[in-house]
Chains A and B, each alone.
Chain A
Amino acid sequence: MVEPFVWQGFYQGYQRYAELISQPPGAQQHNVREGLAQLHCQLQASIAGEPACAVLRAHEFRSQLQDLDRSSFTSLYRFVFFVCRDPGRRNLQVSRAIEAWTILLVGRFRLLEQWCAFVTQHQTQIITEDVWRQVLDFSRSVPEDLGTYDPESAWPVLLDEFVDSVKRNRSSCFGSKRRCIDMDTVSHQLSELTTVEGLVASPPAKRLRIMRSYSVPQPG
């Protein structure tokens, strides 16, 4: 059960956060940063970390996710990183990040499952804010077949490695959706092929050649 004050803190925090980051860039930057710092302190003292994560898990929260438009989702996504860090931490632990991703990005990121599996296996312990934000960009701008992915561009190294591993897996078993080749079937088919060829082709050809060579030394 999520305590009401946590709910309240979460929503108020989100509203303030969205308000701050949606301000036009330029002269206000300084104020924005200060406002964020204030908000950060405020949240650190109240619901940051585990309590905020509990909000994500709540059914009421999830059900509202569908209705969000693109920009509000972006600010919510960023706010989740902002609020889910443990007090005193700059970054998010991997386990918590994965949990948040599975809640937030379900239906929005086609490679979500693979991504989470990859991050779990990877040695990294934390997710930085940059990586967190880039994952959302990645989910929105890169198609499932990864055709437009450019490793030379500015994607974080973790995403580079992810794309690499996905591509490697695909090339080793002919695409992710098809099943891997059954080596037994293939070898069986191959063995059948050779027997057919052996029966039809070689013996008669040999006999023919011998006959011809007999017929040569008898000129008319």
Chain B
Amino acid sequence: MAGTQNRIRAQGPGTARKLTIKPLKSKPKLPEDFETTTWKKLQHAVHAVHGKQPVTVSLEELYRAVEDMCLHKMADRLYANLQQECNTHISAELEKLASSQTIDPVLFLQHMGNCWHDHTSQMLTIRSIFLYLDRTYVISTTGVRSLFEMGLQLFRTHLASHPQVERKTVQGLLQLIKAERQGETVDRTLLKHLLRMFTSLNIYADGFEQPFLEQTAQFYAAEGIQYMQETDVADYLLHSEKRLGEEYERCQQYLDSSTRKALVHAVERQLLEKHMPTILEKGYDALMAEKRVPDLGRLYSLCARIHALEALKQSFREYIKKTGITMIMDEEKDKDMVNLLLEMKANLDTVLHQAFQHNEQFANAMKDAFEHFINQRQNKPAELIAKFIDAELKAGNKGQTDDELEVRLDKALILFRYISGKDVFEAFYKKDLAKRLLLGKSASTDSEKNMITKLKTECGSQFTNKLEGMFKDIDLSKDIMTSFRQAKAVQAKLTDGLDMNVNILTSGYWPTYPTVDAKLPLELNHYQEVFKAFYLSKHSGRRLVWHNSLGTCIVTAHFPKGKKELSVSLFQTVVLTLFNDADSLTFAEIQEASGIEEKELKRTLQSLACGKVRVLLKEPKGREVDSGDTFLFNEAFVASLYRIKINSIQLKETVEENKKTNDQVIQDRQYQIDAAIVRIMKTRKTLSHKLLVSELLVMLKFPIKASDLKKRIESLIDREYLERDEANQNVYNYLA
């Protein structure tokens, strides 16, 4: 505060002085030699920088000097001079490099690296000194490069005039990279540094990249061929993947990022594209067979890189077809076929999901392949799948929970989906289901119905119609039996100690069974009569036929060593009751008394006298029953259990039965073909043979040969449903 007051006082009134500023009398002149001296100073500094010596004058002074020169409009000359200086220096430097005797390219690279490093750092120092020039003159004048740019330009020009330097550098670089590829450790910083130089000098693409890619291609072409011969496919793939990773890293570490695409492509082309057909042809099946999921995953991703998934898919399909067909065609393995197929399917699914990334096209290829090979063998796979499901659903197949059962059924159903002859499956399934229902062999009704629902969603209600009808029959039969037992008037007619359960089967739903006659014991016969009368009184107009071959009985046997309950078939019962009145009977006598057909009787007797449980004895002993044999009641029979099952022969499928089911399917197919032909011809009236056949192949759902169709057409001609056209034997007319 005090100070201020003082100043006011000092300026106060009194002696007021005027300050006048006058222009200079003479314009201050630059010294004559200003430009020369200043430039000398600067030149000296530049020389020091180039010579890597300390600059004697302070940098600030130098900066001022530049500024002064620029202000005095000497910028253009200054620029030219500086350029001249740099030119001389760079020229000399490169000359030195060019004439250097270093033969070792790597050592040469060191020199080159140093040279470049010096150049850049020197140019930076120079630029700092000449900053004013760079900022004013260069920016305001068009067609003049910034100082650093100018340095680069000079470097480039001189490098171009010494092609051997560039060539040597590139060679050295390539050699280093090759060495690195061969597993040696190299100076990556140097590489990076020099490659930056190429980029900075704008000669990367032409000067380095091209020879580099060529060398890469060469290197990997040779390596590909060598490795293909030396290693197995899995290792080769692993190696290729490693190589690709290395090249990626190389790009990150020292190559220019623009090279990446071309480089990776070159590697893919040499290592993968060229050898992929061989890889797939030679190694693919082995990889699949050994379930090498990681390797397959690698193969998949490598194939995806080179757009070879189509080929991989093809190999996948072919592999499935090939292995599938050998599996299907091997008749000795029929027993395990379904299990083997399921196992194969599971393995393929693992591969598909874990290695092939759930690729939908691959899933389709698998489906195609399955459909193809499973139908290569007619009928048998369908039959075996039906039997597989039968075994699963049968009682005694314990040790698995409902969920496990469900999973297995679902899997079998997947196989079923591939089958084109679904009618064969239906026929065998029906036959087996009938046995399960009638002989009470089903594990659980829920599972059974569950399976029917599955089939229904798969093939529609028409397919399961009859199967459902069978269940309905069983339910209805239970009701009928309840009312039969409650009807007192009827029960009065029956003898005590005998109970009977009757299943009433609607003939259309069930498989057809041959009626095998047998002379039943009187009590049973009586019982049947009573039931028949009862049933027909309730449902008049129906016809009741007894299928004795399907009947089962539980009989009590009094052996000297204890009382046993035997669970047997009706025929076995008939035979056994004969021994109520005799201890020994000949085959002929049994046949006479039982009235059972010879083949059936032999099977029955075999089960009683030659099986595990021998309630009868045979004379002479042996495993086969002959019509001259004699049978004795086994007085010494012992068994640990009280109730014994002997009726397993009914469950076993005989050869004739199998053949019959197959014949039935063929018969059904013929009717279907006939119906289809007539249906088509009825609408078309006139149709050529080829068109008719192609329409039939669309319409008919099962596999069929053209000759089968021809036979049916001929048969229809013979039966005068069709005629050949008089003018053209290839055309059929429909006869109304």
Contacts and interface: CB of A to CB of B under 8 A. Distances in A.
Contacts of A128: 714, 717-718
Interface string B685-712: 0001110000000000000001100110
Nearest to A134: B729
Measured as residues with beta carbon below 8 angstroms from the partner, the interface class of chain A is: 10 to 19
A129 B711 contact: no
A131 B730 CA distance: 13
A152 interface: yes
A185 interface: no
Contacts of B711: 157
Interface string B708-736: 00110110011000001010011110000
B280 to A, nearest CB: 35
A131 B714 CA distance: 9
A154 B707 contact: no
Interface string B215-235: 000000000000000000000
Contact of B706 (A129, A134, A152): A152
Nearest to B716: A130
A153 B713 CA distance: 12
Contacts of A160: 707, 710
A137 interface: yes
Given A130-B724, A160-B710, A153 B730 contact: yes
A152 B690 contact: yes
Given A128-B714, A130-B717, A130-B718, A157 B707 contact: yes
A203 interface: no
Contact of B724 (A91, A133, A152): A133
Contacts of B729: 134, 137, 154
Nearest to A130: B717
B710 A157 contact: yes
Nearest to A90: B718
A91 B731 CA distance: 22
Given A25-B726, A133-B724, A153 B690 contact: yes
Nearest to A159: B710
A175 interface: no
Interface string A122-152: 0000001111011001000000000000001
B718 A154 contact: no
Measured as residues with beta carbon below 8 angstroms from the partner, the interface class of chain B is: 10 to 19
Most B Cβ at <10 Å: residue of A90, A128, A157: A157
Nearest to B706: A152
B710 to A, nearest CB: 5
B159 to A, nearest CB: 50
A160 B707 CA distance: 9
A156 B710 contact: yes
A152 B730 CA distance: 10
Contacts of B724: 130, 133-134, 154
Contacts of B688: 154
A157 B714 contact: yes
Contacts of B726: 25
Interface in B196-216: none
A142 B76 CA distance: 103
Interface string A14-30: 00000000000100000
Interface string A105-134: 000000000000000000000001111011
A131 B732 CA distance: 14
B689 A130 contact: no
Contact of A129 (B690, B710, B718, B731): B718
B709 to A, nearest CB: 10
Nearest to B717: A130
A130 B690 contact: no
A160 B710 CA distance: 10
Interface string A151-186: 011101100100000000000000000000000000
A130 B688 CA distance: 16
A133 B730 CA distance: 13
A116 B730 CA distance: 24
A164 to B, nearest CB: 10
Nearest to B723: A130
Most A Cβ at <10 Å: residue of B710, B711, B730, B731: B710
Contacts of A25: 726
Contacts of B710: 154, 156-157, 160
Contacts of A130: 714, 717-718, 724
A191 to B, nearest CB: 40
A54 B730 CA distance: 34
B688 to A, nearest CB: 8
Nearest to A133: B724
Most B Cβ at <10 Å: residue of A133, A137, A154: A154
B586 to A, nearest CB: 42
B718 to A, nearest CB: 5
A86 B729 CA distance: 27
Nearest to B722: A130
A153 B689 contact: yes
A70 B487 CA distance: 82
A154 B706 contact: no
A133 B731 CA distance: 14
Given A160-B707, A160-B710, A154 B717 contact: no
A166 to B, nearest CB: 17
A26 to B, nearest CB: 11
Most B Cβ at <10 Å: residue of A130, A131, A137: A130
A133 B732 CA distance: 14
A142 to B, nearest CB: 12
Nearest to A129: B718
Contacts of A90: 718
B56 to A, nearest CB: 73
Interface in B140-179: none
Contacts of A91: 718
Interface in A32-66: none
A119 to B, nearest CB: 15
Contacts of B730: 153-154
A129 B720 CA distance: 11
A23 to B, nearest CB: 11
A37 B442 CA distance: 60
B493 to A, nearest CB: 54
A152 B711 CA distance: 13
Contacts of B731: 154
Contacts of A153: 689-690, 730
Contacts of A134: 724, 729
Interface in B368-383: none
A90 B715 CA distance: 13
Interface of A: 25, 90-91, 128-131, 133-134, 137, 152-154, 156-157, 160
22 contacts: A91-B718, A128-B714, A128-B717, A128-B718, A130-B714, A130-B717, A130-B724, A134-B724, A137-B729, A153-B730, A154-B688, A154-B710, A154-B713, A154-B729, A154-B730, A154-B731, A154-B732, A156-B714, A157-B707, A157-B710, A157-B714, A160-B707
Given A25-B726, A154-B731, 11 more contacts: A91-B718, A128-B717, A128-B718, A130-B724, A134-B724, A134-B729, A152-B706, A153-B690, A154-B688, A154-B732, A157-B707
Closest 10 CB pairs of A and B: A154-B689, A154-B730, A130-B717, A128-B718, A157-B710, A157-B711, A137-B729, A153-B730, A157-B707, A156-B714
